[in-house]
Amino acid sequence: MGSRLIGYGSYLPERVVTNFDLEKMVDTSDEWIVQRTGMRERHFARDDETVVDMAVHAARRALDNAKITINDIDMVIVATTSAELDFPSVGVQVLGRLNATNNAPAFDVRGACTGYIYALHCARAFFSAGMHKRIMVIGAEKMSRFIDWNDRSTAVLFGDGAGALIFEHSTSSYSGIIDTVVMSDGREMDMLYGTPDHRIMMNGPETYKKAVTLMPDAASYIMEHAGITADNVDWIVPHQANIRIIQSGAQRLGFPLEKILVTVDKHANTSGASGVLALAYAFDNNIIKHGQLVLYPAFGSGLTWGAALIRV
C-alpha cells in the first residue's frame, strides 16, 4: 500500500516584516541578512493569532483543494514546536475547529525543523500498514513567539506560517510518499534549543556545519534506497534555513541550482512549516507540477534530520 497527494493548502500571516523593518528592531542590516542567509522578508502572526489559527486556515484550503470535507480525513498529524497550549495537541484542536464528527485521531510531532519529515514518515508507515485512508499532514509554527530581540544572531532568522498536505491511500508505491528516512542525535542538543522562557538558543556556525553535511547525507541515502540518481529527481525542496546551506547541499549532491526550490527569501525559516509551505508555494506558482518527483531533505534542533521522496 502506498499513497497519493490529493490536496494542499497554506497560510501566511498578513504582516510582512522586511529586513529593513528588522534594522529598526535589532542591530543588523539588510545587507548582512541577505548575504549570510538569503532572507529578505518573513511573515509574523498577530499577537492574538495562534499556531492553531494558522493550521486551521491551511487545513481548510487543503480540504477545498482536494474537494473533500474534514470528515473524509481519518488522521491528522501536525508538525509543530511552537503551540501555545501544552495540551491538547494542535491536531485535535484543528479537528475541533473544523467541526469534525468522525472521531479521527490526531497528534503532534515535535521534530523541530525536521518535524514535517517526521510527520510524513509517520503517514507513510500508516499507509504501508493499510491502517488509514486519508491523512492530513500539517506543518504550523509561530516562531516569532521564541525570538530573543537581544540576540541579533537568531532574531532575524525566523518567520511564521502553516502548510497542509492531504494524502490518500493508493495501491501504487510509486506515488505520494514513496520513501522517508528520519534520524536524530540527542547528544548535540546544546547546539540549538528553546529555553523554558521561550527563547531560541543557537550556535549558528556549528549548526551550519552540521546542516551542510547531514541534509545532503539524508538526501543521498533516500536516492540510494530508491535506486535513483539526481537525474531522476525533478525538484529538491530543502528545509529553508539559509540559502548558503541550500546551495552547498545542492552542490554536494550534484544538483543544478535550477532544480532547487528556494522560498527562504520570502518566508525565512518557518521551522516545522518550512517544507510544507515551500511545496504549497511551488504549486500555487505552477513551479512544481503534479506527477513530478520531489526530494525533500530537512535538518533541525535535536539534532534531527531526514528526507522524504514524494511524487506530488
* Residues at the interface with ligand UT7 (CB under 6 A): 28, 32, 36-37, 113, 152-153, 156, 204-205, 207-208, 211, 241-242, 245, 269, 299-300
Residue 199 corresponds to which cell in the numbers above?
527563547
Give least dist CB 270 to ligand UT7, A: 9
Give least dist CB 257 to ligand UT7, A: 18
Q: How far is CA 84 from the centre of its chain?
A: 18
Closest CB to ligand UT7 among residues 157, 293: 157
Give least dist CB 249 to ligand UT7, A: 11
**Contacts with 251 (C-beta within 8 Å, 6 or more apart), sequence order:** none
Q: Mapping DSSP to helix (H, G, I), strand (E, B) and coil, where does residue 92 land?
A: helix
Closest CB to ligand UT7 among residues 205, 227: 205
Residues belonging to the active site: 113, 239, 269
Give least dist CB 277 to ligand UT7, A: 13
Closest CB to ligand UT7 among residues 32, 221: 32
Closest CB to ligand UT7 among residues 133, 244: 244
Q: How far apart are CA 271 and CA 220, in angstroms?
A: 22
Closest CB to ligand UT7 among residues 72, 141: 141
Q: How far apart are CA 221 and CA 16, in angstroms?
A: 37
Of 4, 5, 18, residue with least CA distance to 282? 5
Name the closest residue to ligand UT7 (Cβ). Answer: 204
CB 81 within 8 A of CB 112: yes
Give least dist CB 32 to ligand UT7, A: 4
Q: How far apart are CA 97 and CA 225, in angstroms?
A: 40
Of 227, 237, 215, residue with least CA distance to 296? 237
Beta partners for residue 236, in sequence order: 260, 295
Q: At what angle do helices 243-253 and 30-37 cross, to 10 degrees?
A: 20
